[in-house]
């Protein structure tokens, strides 16, 4: 099986704790871009970036408009803007209307990442108290990407993973510890 | 190739050939999302149906433009930016006998009124002229009216205070039913008109240009083109203020601007810009 080429992750309520569990377990040889959309509600995402950088084996940065999605780097969506992946795998931002009450929206990230990376994409939908990301996950699977949903029973808030499973289904439904393990298996050839 | 991507190509071509609007250098991912949104808004089913109406239906293009330029703004958006304009930029602009300000992509005009308030409180408004432009006529109409939903006023009041406002935000509007109407005196030196950053040219010599969250919708080459347009419009030492997440690092025009406050995306046209020929 050929290795996947990019990872997109989405989470909301409980997301910070979940990311602090998953990121440290990602292999430092993971040579694909990791893009995260986490609803923080805060006006400034730099604190989230700092917290994640402290635990992650891979460098963590705020995703910058026009910048390429660099392999081996974790990119976090800025607050207040949708984060989109352009067909050339560079980032763009938008202040278009909120999607499922959220900006940044996981749906927007997943749908554009699916367009950009097609079957190379692995999308991960984790804990959250709304349904953002479910439609995006469907687009990911439709494009041939691999969809992982956090096992709702293990999620701090199970609404988001349940919505993902209901609307898109998944290729794997895993606990946080197993999510990192699966990402390593899928992306390291 | 994905069928929808072909339809988008045809859409862009129809807009260009039939109506003279050039979206070919917009960032593809966000353009696609907006066109998909238009399909839902107009219950068209497919982009091809949208294209058919665009080609054959009188006046439909106006509604398409309204959908493609989604006017999103607020009063004193990102308050630290307006605070920096107040503290770092206006004191320098005060040295000019006349102050020309261009708000490019003014959407519904919230930032135009914010600027007018800023200038008023600095005692500079009577010698200032604000040119507020957008390519969406419907948005310009809303901007000129200055009527907004009351529900936003609370957030805006907080923004105003965080931006260092000297009075109370409510001093600048009257409220009735569910709407607030901005004091029309704030409009006295504002000119609203249609200008398309993609196709239209330099029209004034500006001391300050604000263009916030517009470049993010453009691809690299159109961003470069627009930044060159701004460079050519600014007087030596004039200021440029972009959205707080916009990135000019990748643009050749970046060399013509120096940082006033880099995190807040406030730049000054350096003298290097004068050495370069005008890009036309």
pLDDT, residue A146, reads 98
Q: Which residue of B has its CA nearest to A116?
A: B29
Chain B residues with CB inside 8 Å of A112's CB?
29, 33
Predicted confidence at residue B2, as pLDDT, reads: 86
How many angstroms separate the CA of residue A98 from the nearest CA in chain B? 11
Percent with pLDDT over 90 in chain B: 90
Contacts of B234 (CB under 8 A, 6+ apart): B205, B206, B207, B209, B240, B269, B273
Q: Which of A64, A94, A116 faces B30 most closely, judged by CB atoms?
A: A94
Per-residue pLDDT at A108 exceeds 80: yes
Interface test with B, best of A69, A95, A115, A116 (most B CBs within 10 A): A95
Q: Is A108 helix (H, G, I), strand (E, B) or coil?
A: helix
Are the CB atoms for A70 and A33 separated by under 8 Å? yes
| Three-class secondary structure of residue B100 per DSSP | strand
Contact between A84 and B34 using a beta-carbon 8 Å cutoff: no
Q: Which of the residues A107, A132, A151, A158 is marked catalytic?
A: A132
Based on its alpha-carbon atoms, the radius of gyration of chain B, rounded to whole angstroms, reads: 19
CB neighbours (10 Å) of residue A14? 18
Mean pLDDT, range B26-37, rounded to an integer: 95
Residue A47 CA to residue A11 CA, distance in Å, equals 16
For residue A116, list chain B residues with Cβ-Cβ distance below 8 A.
29
Instruction: Tell me, yes or no, if A75 is annotated catalytic.
Output: no
Give the confidence band of B273 by pLDDT, cuts at 50, 70, 90.
very low
Q: B278 pLDDT band (50/70/90 cuts)?
A: very low
pLDDT band per the 50, 70, 90 thresholds, residue B148: very high
pLDDT at B139 over 60: yes
Residue B171 near residue B89 (C-beta atoms within 8 A)? no
What pLDDT score was predicted for residue B280?
38
- Residue-level pLDDT at B72: 82
Is residue A132 among the annotated active site residues? yes
Average pLDDT estimate for B177-193 = 96
**Strand residue runs (E) in A42-105:** 60-62, 74-76, 82-85, 91-94
The stretch B259-278 carries a mean pLDDT of 76
Alpha helix segments (H runs only) across chain B: 3-19, 28-41, 47-56, 60-68, 79-84, 90-93, 110-121, 137-145, 150-162, 220-233, 272-275
A166 pLDDT higher than 70: yes
User: B178 to chain A nearest CA, in Å?
Assistant: 21
Whether the predicted pLDDT of B266 surpasses 70? yes
Q: What is the complex's ipTM, to 2 decimals?
A: 0.90
Position B277 confidence tier, pLDDT thresholds 50, 70, 90: very low
Q: CA-CA distance, B126 to B136, in Å (whole number)?
A: 28
pLDDT, tens digit, 9 for 90 and up, residues B36-88: 999 999 999 999 999 999 999 999 999 999 999 878 889 999 999 999 999 99
Interface of A with B in 139-178 (CB under 8 A): none
Between A180-184, B96-100, B273-277, the lowest mean confidence (pLDDT) is in B273-277
Chain A residues with CB-CB distance to B70 below 8 A: 96-97
**pLDDT given for residue B78 in this prediction:** 95
Region of poorest pLDDT, from A56-65, A97-106, B37-46: A97-106
CA A128 to chain centre: 13
Q: What is the pLDDT of residue B270?
A: 87
A22 pLDDT higher than 80:
yes
Asked if B193 and B104 count as a contact pair (C-beta separation under 8 A), the reply is: no
Give the DSSP H/E element, type plus range, for residue A113: helix A106-117
Query: Would you say residue A82 has pLDDT above 90?
Result: yes
| pLDDT at residue number B271 | 60
């Amino acid at each position: 099986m050929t290795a996947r080429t990019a990872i997109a992750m989405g989470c909301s309520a409980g997301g910070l704790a979940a990311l602090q569990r998953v990121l440290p377990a990602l292999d430092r040889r993971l040579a694909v871009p990791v893009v995260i959309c986490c609803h923080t509600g805060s006006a400034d995402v730099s604190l989230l970036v700092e917290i994640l950088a402290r635990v992650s084996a891979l460098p963590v940065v705020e995703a910058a408009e026009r910048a390429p999605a660099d392999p081996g780097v974790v990119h976090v969506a800025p607050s207040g803007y949708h984060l989109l992946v352009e067909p050339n795998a560079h980032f763009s931002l938008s202040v278009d209307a909120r999607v499922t009450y959220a900006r940044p929206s996981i749906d927007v990230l997943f749908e554009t990442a699916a367009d950009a990376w097609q079957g190379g994409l692995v999308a991960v939908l984790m804990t959250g108290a709304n349904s953002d990301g479910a439609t995006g996950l469907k687009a990911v699977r439709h494009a041939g990407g691999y969809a992982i949903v956090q096992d709702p029973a293990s999620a701090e808030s199970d609404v988001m993973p349940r919505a993902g499973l209901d609307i898109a289904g998944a290729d794997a439904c895993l606990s946080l510890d197993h999510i990192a393990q699966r990402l390593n298996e899928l992306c390291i050839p | 190739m994905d069928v929808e991507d072909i339809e988008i190509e045809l859409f862009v071509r129809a807009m260009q050939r039939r109506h003279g609007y050039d979206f070919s250098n917009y960032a593809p991912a966000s353009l696609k999302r907006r066109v998909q949104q238009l399909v839902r808004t107009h219950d068209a089913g497919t982009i091809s149906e949208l294209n058919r109406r665009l080609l054959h239906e009188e006046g439909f293009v106006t509604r398409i433009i309204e959908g493609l330029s989604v006017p999103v703004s607020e009063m004193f958006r990102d308050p630290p930016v307006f605070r920096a304009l107040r503290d770092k930029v206006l004191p320098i602009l005060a040295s000019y006998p006349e102050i020309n300000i261009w708000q490019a992509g003014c959407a519904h005009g919230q930032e135009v009124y914010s600027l007018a308030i800023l200038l008023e409180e600095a005692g500079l408004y009577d010698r200032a002229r604000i040119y507020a432009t957008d390519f969406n006529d419907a948005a310009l109409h809303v901007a000129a009216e200055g009527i907004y939903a009351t529900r936003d006023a609370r957030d805006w009041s907080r923004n105003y205070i965080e931006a260092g406002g000297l009075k109370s935000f409510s001093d600048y509007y009257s409220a009735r039913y569910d709407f607030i109407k901005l004091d029309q005196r704030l409009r006295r030196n504002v000119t609203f008109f249609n200008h398309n950053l993609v196709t239209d040219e330099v029209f004034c010599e500006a001391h300050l240009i604000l263009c916030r969250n517009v470049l993010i919708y453009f691809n690299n080459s159109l961003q470069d083109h627009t930044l060159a347009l701004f460079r050519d419009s600014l007087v030596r030492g004039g200021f440029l203020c972009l959205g707080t997440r916009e990135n000019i690092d990748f643009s050749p025009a970046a060399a013509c601007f120096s940082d006033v406050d880099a995190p807040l995306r406030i730049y000054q046209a350096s003298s290097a810009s004068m050495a370069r020929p005008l890009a036309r």
